[in-house]
Structure formats: C-alpha cells, structure tokens
Structure 1
Amino acid sequence: MTVRPEPADLSEEIVAAAKVSKAWPFEEARKIIARLERRGGKDEVLFETGYGPSGLPHIGTFGEVARTTMVRHAFRVLTDDKIPTRLLCFSDDMDGMRKVPENVPNQELLRENLGKPLTRVPDPFGTHDSFGAHNNARLRAFLDAFGFEYEFASATDYYLSGRFDQILIRVAERYQAIMDVMLPTLGEERQATYSPFLPISPATGRVLYVPMKDVNPSDGTITFDDEDGREVTLPVTGGRVKLQWKPDFGARWAALDVDFEMFGKDHLSNQPVYDRICKVLGGEPPEHFVYELFLDDKGEKISKSKGNGLTIDEWLTYASPESLSLFMFQKPKTAKRLYFDVIPRTVDEYFAHVAAFGRQDAAAQVNNPTWHIHSGAPPVINMPVSFALLLNLVSASNAETADVLWAYISRYAPGVTPAAAPELDRLVGYAIRYYEDFVRPKKVFRAPDELEREALAALDAKLATLPKDADAATIQDAILDVARGFERYLDPKRKGPDGGPGVSGLWFQALYQTLIGQDQGPRFGSFVALYGIDETRLLIEKALAGELVAVSAKQ
C-alpha cells in the first residue's frame, strides 16, 4: 500500500460529490476549513499526531496516522489542494519512563533507569542509542514502508534545540494562569506538589515531579529541591526541563500552531484542559477528532506496556496493510475488538469495496472506504476467491504450500495464475499462515447423527448427478434441494422458491461441523465449486466412515 502524497486527478463529479459527502474524513476536513475562515486564512495547515514511545509501536499508532492522512486528503480535495499541508508525527520521547514494558528484553536494565527520559534510557534491544530512539525507529520504519507522507518530530530534539524555548518562557510568564487551570482538576495532595514544569535532575538525570520553590519569569528560571535535597536553579530552556503531559499538549499546540489532531477517548475528559492551556499561552486549540479505543479479545483496552491485542507485525503476518487501513476507516467512534478473529472478515470486506468501486457513481465512490484508503485512486483488483473460502480450502485439502492451493484455484478459475493475480497469490500465503496458527488448533470434527448421515448420503447422491464444471450457484441450489427433504432443516420464517418453508442455517452448520471441523463459513456451494465435486464427495465418505473424527482426535 502506498499513501499518495497528493490527491489523484479528480473529476468535476468527484469534487462535487466530495463537497456533500457525509464520510467522516470529509466532515472533519470541513471543520478545518471553517477554522481557517474564522481565522482569516493561513499559509499552511498543520496536521499532527502524537506518539508516546514508552513501549513498542502498536496498531493504534498506525491507525492515528492513517486516519489523519485520510482527513488530510479530504481537506486537499475540498480546497482543490490550494493550501499547503503538513503532517507532523510527534514523539513524546522526553517523558520519563514510569514503568517497564512487559514485552521487551533486559527488564533489569530498564528498571535501573526508571524515571529517566526515554531518550536517556539504554536500549534493551542493543540496536540504538536509547529505548526512545529504538521505538522511534520502529515507528518510522513502519510508516516509511507504507509510503505515508509525514515529518517526524522528537520532543527531545525540540526541547534541546531550543525550538520550545519561547513557549517555555511564556509558561513561566503565565505560570499562575496555568496553575489556575490545572489545580481544580487535581486532588488536594497532588495540588500541594504540582507544577507544570518537570526539571531533569542534574544529579540523577531523572524527570522530577517536585514542587517549585520559585518561578522567575524575568530570567526564565525555576528553583526546586533536587533528589539529594540540594536547592537547584535551572533555566527552563535548552532541554533542562520539560512540561507535564497536560500542559505539554496545550503548549505544543500553541507553539506549533497545530490545526488538527485526533486522539483516543481516554483523552476526552482532558481535552478542555489542553484547550484552555493552549489559549492561556496565546494559541488557538486545533480541531479535534476523538476516536474510540481498541479492545482486545477480552474486551479490555489495548495497552502498549501490556502488549495485549494485536501488534502491527501480527496483523501484517496474516493480512494486507490495506485491510488494516479499512479496519481503521470503519466506525472510528465505535469501540471495536482488535484481535485475530477480525482479520478474515476485514480482508474480504476490503476486496468487496474494491470490486464495487468501479460500478459506483461519484457519490458512492467518495463514500467507498477504498477511496479514502488509497487517496482517491483505488486499485483495480479481480479477486475470484475470498479469504474465507481460501481458509476452508486449506482446511479441507490440508494444504501446507501455495502450490497445492493454486492447483485448486487454477481449476476453478482457468487462466488465473500467481503471476496474473499477485494479490490473490499474496492472499494464498496469508490464508496458509492464518489457518496454521488460528484455525487448525481449534479444528474439531463432529460425528454426524443418524439423520445427518441420511442427509449427507442424500447430498452425496445429489452431487453425483451434477456436471464436474457446475458453478457455485448450481451447486448451492442442489445443496438446498437436499435440505428441503428433511424436516429438521426447514425454516418456516424463510420462504423457499415454491413459496414453502426455506432452509434453516442448521443444515449448513451441520455441513461445516461434520465436513470442515468448524461451526460456520462462507456459502457452501462456493466452497464445493472451488474444492471440487469429487473431492467434496470424498469428504462426505470420510465423514460417514468416521475418518475425519478420528483425525481430529489424534491432533
């Protein structure tokens, strides 16, 4: 996936449709346009994402950049790309390391450096100058690999280089006004020691959470007691101090004149604080977009330090980055489980949207997720086999290599080859890996009961009457015809072709449980067409003979 640095060539119809589209990136872009109109215009619009490198980058980090890129593209379309834009990915790498992440090596090394800025903590992986630098490099390598157009910014660099000196002096000058914002949000004990300034201890190098004995705005210094009890006076400039995280949000917005930043719902209660501090320091808060948090398989919030949920690398082991971008696009204000079982559905939804794009009018195209994922230029992809079908094919054929799967695919879709269909070839590899890691361990065949044995035998006989090249629709009709001969599988709430009862889902559940070893799957007729009629009849024979249950018992 490449995120285009400029909008694709746009037709008048697309631009007109974009102006009235209710897709959320356009809604956010319109807020930025209204902001510019209130301010009388601006030479450049700055989009920002924040990143806390206390642990390894996770999918939420990628999602923030991907979603912001979608809003940026929507803004450029609505403004005819006449206003320059920048995307700044800002790493808060000067934060003190408050706890040791559970998913990194050399835990003792990190414990010895608790409290120090992340860019002064040794790298437990031994590949970079610091833990912060290691995590920053991981983030940048990932974003670079997928073509995001962005600028990387390090808080350590900004503080040490003096780029924040002016705003830090302003914090000293307006110290009491900031305290008036912060103190009502704190408990009584915290109020007694709070300061927006966090000095870096000259003695230990740790970030200190200590009260200020004096803040002198005339010379830009603070005075406090160091960890050894000695009174120390430091300039607020030159990287000798940093700001507490809430004042840091507002101060950064004011210093850089940020126009748009999104953040997770866990920041929602603090947003008014960020905004007020930004205003105290003479800035105007950016437009915000608050997204819901991702949940793991247990419904708990994903945490970098815990390492729960999916990592970037894990998703990309089993599915494409485009599918990950689709997951980020869909319902960003709804809490969603981000775990392995969402991958197959998301993959197939992505290709369904790609296939639909070429058939849609302009109004539908600008609402199509792939238009936003690919910055207005979705690819043309013919995907004759779904990911769900491939997983079933791997399961039924016990395929361990792509060559085995391609033998079935080539028979099902003559002329389709790995060279002619690289996206499908990539999907084949994903399917094999996903099956081995997540489907096979849970695969349990159930022995058919007496009525199911009768129904399976009837299905076998019905399939024997079909031509070898019968298409999926013909096979599906035959499967339904068999089910209608058994009262158990009739559903009076559904209508059959003759107006009578339709077929219950119990029939297909029985087929999947006895023949595939799963509770459900895609249309069974499509699976048979791909796997083969003779091969499916052999599966039925094995199920009736108890061979599939026997294999399951040995695993």
Structure 2
Amino acid sequence: MDPAAGHDSYLNHWADAAAAKTLAAHADAKVVTVAAGITPSGVVHVGNFREVITVDLVARALRDRGADVRFIYSWDDFDVLRKVPADMPKRDMLTENLRRSISAVPDPYGEHDSYAGHNIAAFEKSLAPLGIRPEFIRQSQRYRAGAYADGIRLALKHAADIRAILNDVRDKTTANTRLEDNWLPLSGFCDNCGRDTLAFAVVDEWTVHYDCSACKHAADVDLRKGGNLKLPWRIDWPMRWAHERVCFEPGGKDHSTAGGSFDTAKDIVRVVYGWQAPEYVGYDFVRIKGRAGKISSSKGDVVTVADCLEIYEPEVLRWLFVSFRPNTEFQISFDLDVITLYENYDRTRRIAYGVEPAKDAQARLVAQRTMQLASVDHRRIAEGDVMPFVPGFRHLSMTLQIFEGDLDKTVAYYEEAGQVVGDESRRLTRQRARCVWNWIAEWGPDEFRYKLRREPKQRELTADEATCLGRLVAALRGREEVREDDLVPTMKSLCEGTSLDNKTFLPVVYDLLIGRDKGPKLTTLITAIGPARALSLLAPSLPAGT
C-alpha cells in the first residue's frame, strides 16, 4: 500500500487521488474500510446511487494500490417514517405507521419483511449487474442486537461535549434554538406502540429509562441487551466511523456545507470516540433532464438504477458517473441525448483500444483508466488487445426496427455481415440491442420510430419517378441477397437523365417501404430486409410489365 503509487501516470482518475490520500492518512491500517449508506425511507433512486459508486471507485483504486479493502454499505433502516412518499400503495396503512421505525412498518407490496426491506431489496438487486458488491449492514439489526451499546454509553458520558459541539454550530449558523442542558443524545422507539415519542433519563452507565408520551408506556433499557434505542443521526454517523474504523466515506451536498453533519461529526468522533474523521469527498446532485430540482423519493415518480439499466448498458451507466468528478452536478437523459452519450462512450472506448487516435499518450492512458473503472469486471485494456465489435446506437436503432425488435435476428444480421465475431462481441451486441429497443419503445420520439409496411402500397408515380423506381427494382431482381456496397453505384445513378435527384426521389421509396418520407440510410435498410421483401413493397407501384 504505497501512496507513492499515485505518481503512476496510469492512475490518473480522481478516485486514484482519493485513494492515495486515504492511504497516506491511514498508513498503519491493515484493512482499509470504505463506507457508504442511505436511509431507505422511500424508493432508492439513481441520485442515491452516486454515493455507492463513488465508494466503489475509490475501493477499486485502493485495491489497485495493493490495499486490503473492506467496502461496507449501511442501511439506515432504524430511522423513523416521517411522511408517506407519493405514489405508494396502501397509503392509509402507511399513514397509520408514521413515527415508527421503517424497519417495523409492513411492506405495502406484501413482498418483504418490512417497508424498508422492500426498498433495500430493489436497490441491492440493481447493483449486481454493475459489479458493485459491498458488505450490506442493516442498522436496525445492529442496534437491536446491542452491537452499538458501548457507542451509546460513550455518547451519554460525553453528552455535555456533544451538546457544546452542536450548539456551537447552531450559534454560528444563527439557528433559532439551542439544545437545553438536559438534552441527551438518544432517540428510539417505544417497545409497546413502536413510536418515537420518547423522553429519556439516564439511570446508570448502561441503563436508560424512557417514558412514551403516545401510549404512556415506560421502561428501563439495558443497553448491553440491545433493544429499540439508538443515537440521533449527527452522533450515529461518527460513532459508526469509530466502530467500523472507516477510512473513507463520501457525503452529499447537504452534509458537506459549513455546519453540516460532516462538520459536527468530525469533532464528535475525535472528542467522544478517539477516532479521526475519514477522508471525505462531497458529491453533488444528479438530476433527470427535464425535471426541476433534485430527485426526491418523497415526491414519488423517481428514476431508479433499474430504470436506467433498461436504457443504459451497465458499463455505459458506470462510465457516465466515472466521467464526472463527484462535486460536479450532471443530468441523466432519456431523450435524444441518450444517443450522444452512447456515441461519447464509444469514442472513449475506441481511444482506449487505440482504434481512434488520442491527443497524446496521456490522453490515451486517461481513456484506458476511465474504461477500466467503467467496466463491470475492472478489466484493464492492455497493449495489443483487440476491441470487440459492438454496433453504434444509431445503427442498431435502425436495424432493430427493421427486424421489429427481434434480438436474435438483429445479432444474426451483424454476424452475417462479418462484424460480430466471437462470444464477447455477440454478448455486447445483444446487451446493447436490448437497451436500444427499450429506448425506442419507451422514449424514442415519433419521428425516430418506423415500421416496414406489412402490405404494399400502390402509389401513383410520375414518369420520372417510375423510371427511377424501375432502376432500383431492376438492381434487386434475381438476387437472394445484396451487399450494401453493391447498392451504392445504383443509388448514385438512380436519377440520371430525369428531372429528379435523390433528395426529391428517395421520399417515394421511403413511403413505399415504411410509410414516411424519410428514414434510415436506404442502402442499409434494403440490405437488412433483403431483396425479396424490398421488391414486394416497391414493385407493385410500377406500371404493369415493368
């Protein structure tokens, strides 16, 4: 674990710089623990994904330096259900369970152990295709098992110190209220009614008494035996840094501001728990193009990682996050910008493999490192590696529509053309074809979609139009198949000796084939559907005997 490895020009990503800083700050650590987490109080969306992939990238960079890395992901499922997110089913049931732990609220879908469990399962499942495999920790289980008993004990012992730290921030940020002298760093849920309406008193070092204002239940709790008590967020976070010996953890924009939870946590972890704050990277929001404001689970209609994977290949979705520094806001698009993003990804891939020239040697190293971090299996592109073929998004969108979304026929088309060769190229082409077809079906604009006519249209033609169409039909007759290159000379000479040119004539051909006045490249379209299908749609408009 040599921080000097940062001088390697290949290790040029921001994650490499974060890894080097982490190793320098924790030079004696035998295991480098990196952490992420979220409260599953609603659908876990793609904005939340920025935290886990930020940690995944740093974990990879640490391992590339030889570090033994432990990657933990904490589910803060011992938090309270404060409001019912929009678009949730069984809203009456959820409303009845407000002020209870989200780990104790029933799953409104009836599929998992709890409301939190449902949101957790969906997000964990979506991470697997992206090659992200942290050690998941459910905080409700840890607290109830008494794993954090000593952490709570120390917080109560240092209650005055914590209160002073939090009040100092409140004074500096001109907050309206300060914590009272009898305030205790505790929260939790009543053993009787399950709500968080508790008042606390310390009995002794390990025992806490509480009274519930909702149901009037009272109890003494031995912290060592676990139960339903926990630390509030601003104390819970630094407590877990010390408990897990966390060396790196990012935080969202809201945590990173002056006086935010990171500011107070770094003091609390030092004063109360004798540990240091981890190396920290603040990350900005991810937005969905066309929507105002940040993504919010409570507002409903969020975009999840699983939604993105319907349109973006795992490597392309990873590449999108890899390509931006964490403190840079960016948008995820589902409109025509998807095509541009795929084209930019493909260009980076070509530069990394040396298929397309780079500005200089370092630019190629940057592309190679980017592609390694974007890959699911963290594969490094070595000199001499051959880039597996995968069709471009635009071409695939055309080919798929010719074959009406049939993935097998689409892949076979590229195989017969000699472009798809080998299992990896076949896998990549099929993977992209699935995403492209999903995009066409759900997001593609109307002018982008087309279908071949099932029955021929008999169109009245001018004399010049009939001449040009007859030349095209003659070029196709008698052929079982045709190569795109063979059609190019025919297309160039179609309109010779007439008053037409391709700009004025080709709309006729497109109308006969797909019912529109323009469409995909005509030579590709005819090659893909084959001469027989093309002739069946073109020839009926010609005069008899032509």
In the alignment, what sits opposite 1:352?
347
In the alignment, what sits opposite 2:75?
91
SS in 2 for 1:94: coil
CA shift for structure 1 position 273: 1.8
- In 2, Cα distance between the equivalents of 1:420 and 1:354? 14
**1:403 and 1:164, CA in 2 relative to 1: closer, same or farther beyond 3 A?**
closer
SS in 1 for 2:84: coil
In the alignment, what sits opposite 1:423?
428
- In 2, Cα distance between the equivalents of 1:76 and 1:414? 36
Amino acid in structure 2 at the alignment position of 1:334? T
- In 1, Cα distance between the equivalents of 2:374 and 2:126? 17
CA shift for structure 1 position 317: 2.1
Contact kept? 1:172, 1:216, Cα under 8 Å: no
In the alignment, what sits opposite 1:11?
none
In the alignment, what sits opposite 1:158?
142
Contact kept? 1:394, 1:435, Cα under 8 Å: no
Pairing partner for 1:246 from 211, 218, 234: 234
- In 1, Cα distance between the equivalents of 2:519 and 2:39? 40
Highest CA radius of gyration, 1 or 2?
2
In the alignment, what sits opposite 1:315?
308
Pairing partner for 1:340 from 334, 338, 356: 334
Amino acid in structure 2 at the alignment position of 1:74? A
Pairing partner for 1:377 from 372, 375, 380: 380
In the alignment, what sits opposite 1:452?
none
Amino acid in structure 2 at the alignment position of 1:202? D
**1:415 and 1:337, CA in 2 relative to 1: closer, same or farther beyond 3 A?**
closer
CA shift for structure 1 position 88: 0.5
- In 2, Cα distance between the equivalents of 1:44 and 1:419? 35
Pairing partner for 2:194 from 202, 205, 229: 205
Amino acid in structure 2 at the alignment position of 1:373? A
**1:217 and 1:324, CA in 2 relative to 1: closer, same or farther beyond 3 A?**
farther
**1:411 and 1:137, CA in 2 relative to 1: closer, same or farther beyond 3 A?**
closer
In the alignment, what sits opposite 1:499?
none
CA shift for structure 1 position 372: 1.2
Contact kept? 2:195, 2:214, Cα under 8 Å: no
Give unpaired runs (5+ residues) of structure 2.
Answer: 451-464, 477-481, 497-502, 504-509, 540-546
CA shift for structure 1 position 42: 1.6
**1:415 and 1:380, CA in 2 relative to 1: closer, same or farther beyond 3 A?**
closer
SS in 1 for 2:277: coil
**1:401 and 1:179, CA in 2 relative to 1: closer, same or farther beyond 3 A?**
same
Deviations 1:102-126 (Å, cap 9, x if unpaired)?
3443222222211111221112222
Deviations 1:366-389 (Å, cap 9, x if unpaired)?
553211123243596423520122
Pairing partner for 1:26 from 16, 25, 39: 16
Instruction: Give aligned pairs, total.
Output: 491
Amino acid in structure 2 at the alignment position of 1:338? I
Contact kept? 2:308, 2:317, Cα under 8 Å: yes
Give unpaired runs (5+ residues) of structure 1.
Answer: 1-6, 8-14, 446-455, 483-488, 490-511, 543-555
CA shift for structure 1 position 71: 0.9
In the alignment, what sits opposite 1:148?
132
**1:304 and 1:442, CA in 2 relative to 1: closer, same or farther beyond 3 A?**
farther
- In 2, Cα distance between the equivalents of 1:101 and 1:123? 13
Contact kept? 2:50, 2:283, Cα under 8 Å: no
CA shift for structure 1 position 311: 1.5
CA shift for structure 1 position 19: 5.5
CA shift for structure 1 position 129: 2.2
Bigger drift between 100-109 and 401-410 goes to 401-410
- In 2, Cα distance between the equivalents of 1:517 and 1:349? 32
Bigger drift between 408-417 and 170-179 goes to 408-417
Amino acid in structure 2 at the alignment position of 1:88? I
Amino acid in structure 1 at the alignment position of 2:38? Y
- In 2, Cα distance between the equivalents of 1:526 and 1:253? 62
**1:245 and 1:529, CA in 2 relative to 1: closer, same or farther beyond 3 A?**
farther
CA shift for structure 1 position 319: 3.0
SS in 1 for 2:246: coil
User: 5 Å matches for 1:383-462?
Assistant: 383-395=389-401, 397=402, 399-403=404-408, 405-406=410-411, 409-410=414-415, 412-413=417-418, 421-439=426-444, 441=446, 443=448
**1:444 and 1:405, CA in 2 relative to 1: closer, same or farther beyond 3 A?**
closer
**1:336 and 1:461, CA in 2 relative to 1: closer, same or farther beyond 3 A?**
farther
In the alignment, what sits opposite 1:139?
123
Contact kept? 1:196, 1:243, Cα under 8 Å: yes
SS in 2 for 1:89: strand
Deviations 1:117-148 (Å, cap 9, x if unpaired)?
12211122222222223333333333345543
Bigger drift between 303-312 and 47-56 goes to 303-312
Contact kept? 1:23, 1:367, Cα under 8 Å: no
Q: Give the alignment's TM-score, normalised by structure 2.
A: 0.74
Deviations 1:143-202 (Å, cap 9, x if unpaired)?
345543421111112112222111110000111111122232684357469653113223
**Residue 275 of structure 2 is aligned to residue 275 of structure 1:** no
Q: CA RMSD in A?
A: 4.8
- In 2, Cα distance between the equivalents of 1:391 and 1:108? 44
CA shift for structure 1 position 302: 1.1
**1:141 and 1:528, CA in 2 relative to 1: closer, same or farther beyond 3 A?**
closer
In the alignment, what sits opposite 2:453?
none
Contact kept? 2:253, 2:285, Cα under 8 Å: yes
CA shift for structure 1 position 255: 2.2
**Residue 176 of structure 2 is aligned to residue 170 of structure 1:** no
- In 1, Cα distance between the equivalents of 2:183 and 2:399? 62
Q: Give the alignment's TM-score, normalised by structure 1.
A: 0.73
- In 1, Cα distance between the equivalents of 2:434 and 2:139? 40
CA shift for structure 1 position 216: 5.3
CA shift for structure 1 position 45: 0.9
Deviations 1:59-99 (Å, cap 9, x if unpaired)?
2344433331221121222x3x1x42100111101111112
CA shift for structure 1 position 222: 4.9
**Residue 263 of structure 2 is aligned to residue 258 of structure 1:** no
**1:534 and 1:330, CA in 2 relative to 1: closer, same or farther beyond 3 A?**
farther
CA shift for structure 1 position 248: 1.5
In the alignment, what sits opposite 1:129?
113
SS in 2 for 1:49: strand
